[in-house]
């Protein structure tokens, strides 16, 4: 089970990453581009998804393509939510209590890659060796 602390640690290790407090919770940006966020049960979210988001910590991340989000939902429908809103697509939301910290770090890193400028991705890759 991953925690918000695991999310903060993963995001904090990424170049140019910045955490901000938002109305619905914390959100992470790279050069003013959103890549991960705590989901909030907004009225625009379908009722069944809103119930889940209201009951437990759910995090959303950007993905490269809509098909990536669909694949994650189909692989693990108990972890990944089928939809939240169409705003900010492509993205996927997942239950923090159902994901392990390593998978969380992978999702956050990939979301950061989707939004980070090329020079930051190169800097990150060079640091990895």
Burial (CB count <10 Å: 0-12, 13-18, 19+), residue 52:
middle
In this structure, the strands spanning 33-38 and 80-81 are unpaired
Number of domains in the chain: 1
- Domain containing residue 70: CATH number: 3.90.1150.30
Q: 53, 39 in Cβ contact below 8 A?
A: yes
For 70-106, the pLDDT digits (tens) are 999 999 999 999 877 777 789 999 999 999 999 999 9
**CA-CA distance, 12 to 67, in Å (whole number)?**
27
String of b and e for 68-91 (b: at least 16 CB within 10 Å)? bbeebbeeeeebbbeebeeeeeeb
For 40-70, the pLDDT digits (tens) are 998 988 999 999 999 999 999 999 999 999 9
Residue 81 belongs to domain spanning: 4-128
Place of tokens 């991953």: 2
């Amino acid at each position: 089970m991953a925690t918000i602390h695991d999310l903060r640690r993963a995001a904090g290790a990424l170049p140019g990453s910045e955490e901000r407090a938002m109305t619905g919770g914390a959100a992470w940006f790279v050069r003013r581009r959103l890549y991960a966020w705590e989901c909030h049960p907004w009225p625009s979210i379908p009722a069944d998804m809103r119930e889940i988001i209201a009951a437990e910590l759910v995090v959303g991340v950007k993905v490269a393509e809509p098909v990536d989000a669909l694949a994650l939902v189909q692989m693990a429908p108990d972890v990944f939510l089928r939809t939240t809103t169409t705003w900010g697509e492509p993205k996927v939301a997942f239950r923090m209590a159902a994901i392990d910290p390593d998978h969380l770090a992978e999702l956050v890193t990939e979301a950061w890659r989707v939004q980070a400028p090329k020079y930051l991705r190169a800097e990150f890759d060079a640091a990895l060796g």
